[in-house]
Structure 1
Amino acid sequence: MENFEISYVSEIEDYYCDNIDIIVKLGTFNITLVVTTPNYILNEMNRKNRGYVPAYPPEVIFNDLKDITIKEAIREYVKKGAYWLKVYGLAGNLVGAFNEKVMSKSINSEGYQSKEVPYIQENYKNLKILYPKTLNEFENIDDDEIEVIIRLWNNNEYILTISTIKFLENQINKSNKKFLYPLYPRAIVKILSLDNVKSIIDSFVNKDHGYWLHFYNYSSFFEFDIELMNKHLNANKLYYLAIEYDCNNNLVLAKETYLKALEIYKELEDKYSINCIEKDIEYLLL
């Protein structure tokens, strides 16, 4: 088991209903996670008057946000090379191991045509939604999950697991732990109804040009490249170190370290980070 340290970006206002960032220091890497509770997710859906959570980077779900619960969960998440810790911590960057081109290559080469399920089809904008069972069997169910198979206009099929928040909460309770065990992320709704399913699929298909649909589908079937994730973490470490050198007026080391980070970000095709570092180097040379 790897040693780790946890720090909190902000104070927790309510252990049972909150959403915060934590930083997990694992060896030389710092990994930022968003952690939340079922009550918070439900309250946000009610506050925004919608029955689903829009497409989003995955969050780690706990019954409560007490320090002992978070530490117990992270002990599970650092196992097996901290795979799921890195996936949940880095997914929002959309680069490196999470580059859509990398995911699409594997999806296209494997295909999902072999599932023996009696699908029905329904036109929905420019795609077809294939359901494993008839919609009426899932109408207004608040404690279940389903796999929805979506066929896009390019004939690629994507599977999105949609769970109710009550189902996830009950899964936590059944496991005798206070957190959701490390596993591929699910799309979340309040109840399984036709409107909620259509709305959440619309969100996943359209947000970031369908990126999150690709990501959630890929995470269900394939393993992300751990070497690329480690490279990304190393680039982040170098970048923050360069900023520290810069702040301490150690300009030579700052420039050297910025350039090392820049080289890795270019390999990862991280355009945002490349732009930030190039501007930092430009200001450094003024």
Structure 2
Amino acid sequence: MHETWLEALAGGGAARRLRLRVVQVAYGDEETPEQRVQRVAGLVAQQRDADLVVLPELWAHGGFASDRWTQRAEPLDGPFVGIMREAARAAGATVHAGSFIERGAGGMWNTSVVVGPAGAVLSTYRKIHRFGEGERSLLEAGTQIVTVPLRLAGRQVATAGLATCYDLRFPELFRRLVDRSCEVLLIPAAWPAARVQHWQVLGQARAIENQCVVVQVNTAGTHSGVAMGGRSQVVGPTGDVLARAMDDGDEVLSVELDLDAVSRQRADFRVLDDRRLGRGQYA
């Protein structure tokens, strides 16, 4: 399969196939952030046959550890991003490093970082919709809708849209991303077990209504007294679940994405062309 994919890419009518690794990270309070970053960076570096690796939200600094966010916050040029850049270089893959608590001029943010295979930072996204008292009181809200090109052998094969966890509950964000030509939606999360059914259903809904591939990467384990939901999943543009983590521990999902399935679905069932609201027809 890999040889066929390479041959297709070298030819004129290249198939758009992307080798994806979804890295579900499980952790508890006994592991320090520094230990966890080193452990997960080593796991990322091992994904040398991948094109794209995606990690969860706040897996290093703790999704529910808001009492320690101020202490753990880092600038974009701090150790977290530096180690993830090295891991991306080692893997030779584009790495969505999940998110971390960013400290910058003007405050702190829940910031996602995408790093290219050469180690350069390709894109950052500050979470727009803040969840709970911890995020609302400590973190600033992001203001920018962010996309990132996905490349294979030097050519762009798709555009991905970035969102984080609680953003999943706000469909208007994903419509805006689709209007910016997104075919893949990357959604790291720290989603608790108590509402994990919502996580699964909402991911399928976003895929169906936007005719996109949805990549959802959650944390697992228990930290700060909160049991996490796991159940990371990859959903195709028809809403079919292509892969789902079934363990509540560390797990790596390996999926070869057929990006042409997005264009086929949009051509065969032209629901996006039939939109009446949100395109200027109504005030």
Q: TM-score normalized by structure 1?
A: 0.23
Q: TM-score normalized by structure 2?
A: 0.23
Instruction: Determine which structure has the larger strand proportion and give its number.
Output: 2
Q: Higher Cα Rg: structure 1 or 2?
A: 1
- Larger RCO: 1 or 2 (CA < 8 Å, sep 6+): 2
